[in-house]
Amino acid sequence: MNLQDLKYFQRLVQDRNFTKVAEYFKVSQPTITLAVKRMEKEFHTKLVERNHAHNELEMTASGMQLYHHTELMLNEWRLAHREIDALNQQIIRFGMSPTISSYFFPSVTNQLFKNGLLNHLQTYEDGSREVLRSILDGKIDIGLIGSVTPLLDEQLVAENLKVVHFKIVVSPSSPLASRSSISFQEASRFPFVVLNDNFANPVAFEQISHHAGVSPKIIYRSGNIDTLKRIVSRGMAISYIADLSILPGDPIVSIPLTDKGEPLLTVMLVYRKTLELSKRVCQFIEIVRKYQ
């Protein structure tokens, strides 16, 4: 059995047709048949059966069991390729959400330059959920993400760096702008614009809405924090965002919440357990830790 046999078998389970699999890989049909026979010999069991009544293939229980492992093995192989390619290119693939990036990156740029790391850094920005998915897929190596729930995944190392409050943000012309604090229930009387589901904010928004016993009206979901803040600044709606998303000079007013037990955003440094912690990677991680 070899890696290519696993690829053939994976596709066979998905297509349930020898001819389609052969066409997909641009090989002969007997090539696929022989690959399955090699695997059946390896595991001393029948993996595939023909249903002559319906002229189709069926996977045995053993075949489906192998398929589940095949998915994992091929994914690990792809992951190894990506990690080794990054090592050979001497790059650190680093991801973070735009909200964390605007807070974090300006403060570390000088240190990264002094340590000779800036030219080795390949950055990627998206919502925290997408950054996390890209870490698991091996598209990036290290990420700074925000989460309102604990990160429980045996494939990952997650280090909590900072805990951040959420705030209500409004236009300077809003009737709420002079408030020193506000309850979420009171804020819910106004329409909201929120970040989309690629970010951690919607989870916190749902939690605090449930806690306050309200269902706020959402007029728009944005994938861009700057767009969201511009909408708020024009008085069209209010929003609920993490404190680190609010920068000096933003044309908005932030108001702390009075709610007890409100959701908190934890900024985490995350990377795969399989990541080789080279000297360069360790230097980078230490700089990230220092500037939180």
pLDDT tens sequence for the chain (292 residues): 688 999 999 999 998 989 899 999 999 999 999 999 999 999 999 999 887 665 678 899 999 999 888 888 888 888 788 778 777 777 899 999 888 888 888 888 888 888 888 888 889 999 898 999 999 988 899 999 999 998 888 889 999 999 999 999 999 999 999 999 999 999 999 999 999 988 889 999 999 999 999 999 999 999 899 999 999 999 999 999 999 889 889 999 999 999 998 999 999 999 999 888 888 889 999 998 887 6
154 within domain boundaries: no
155 within domain boundaries: no
Structure tokens at 24: 């997909």
pTM of the model: 0.71
Whether residues 50 and 113 share a domain: the answer is no
* Domain final residue pick, 33, 63, 83: 83
200 within domain boundaries: yes
Contact between 21 and 32 under an 8 Å Cβ cutoff? The reply is: yes
User: Which residues fall within 8 angstroms of residue 240, CB to CB, at 6 or more apart?
Assistant: 166, 167, 168, 169, 184, 187, 192, 194, 201, 204, 205, 208
Q: How far is Cα 68 from Cα 156, in angstroms, rounded to an integer?
A: 21
Whether residues 59 and 22 share a domain: the answer is yes
Whether residues 249 and 281 share a domain: the answer is no
153 within domain boundaries: no
Whether residues 258 and 278 share a domain: the answer is no
236 within domain boundaries: yes
Contact between 8 and 25 under an 8 Å Cβ cutoff? The reply is: yes
- CATH number of the domain where residue 185 is located: 3.40.190.10
150 within domain boundaries: no
Whether residues 276 and 213 share a domain: the answer is no
Whether residues 118 and 255 share a domain: the answer is no
Q: How far is Cα 78 from Cα 86, in angstroms, rounded to an integer?
A: 13
Whether residues 135 and 228 share a domain: the answer is no
- Give the domain range for residue 76: 3-83
Whether residues 260 and 167 share a domain: the answer is yes
Whether residues 79 and 121 share a domain: the answer is no
58 within domain boundaries: yes
Whether residues 259 and 284 share a domain: the answer is no
* Domain final residue pick, 38, 58, 83: 83
Q: Which of 21, 38, 55, 22 is nearest to 47 (CA)?
A: 38
Whether residues 13 and 54 share a domain: the answer is yes
235 within domain boundaries: yes
Q: How many domains does the chain have?
A: 3
Instruction: Give the helix, strand, coil percentages of the chain, each rounded to 5.
Output: 45, 25, 30
Q: How far is Cα 97 from Cα 266, in angstroms, rounded to an integer?
A: 13
Whether residues 222 and 277 share a domain: the answer is no
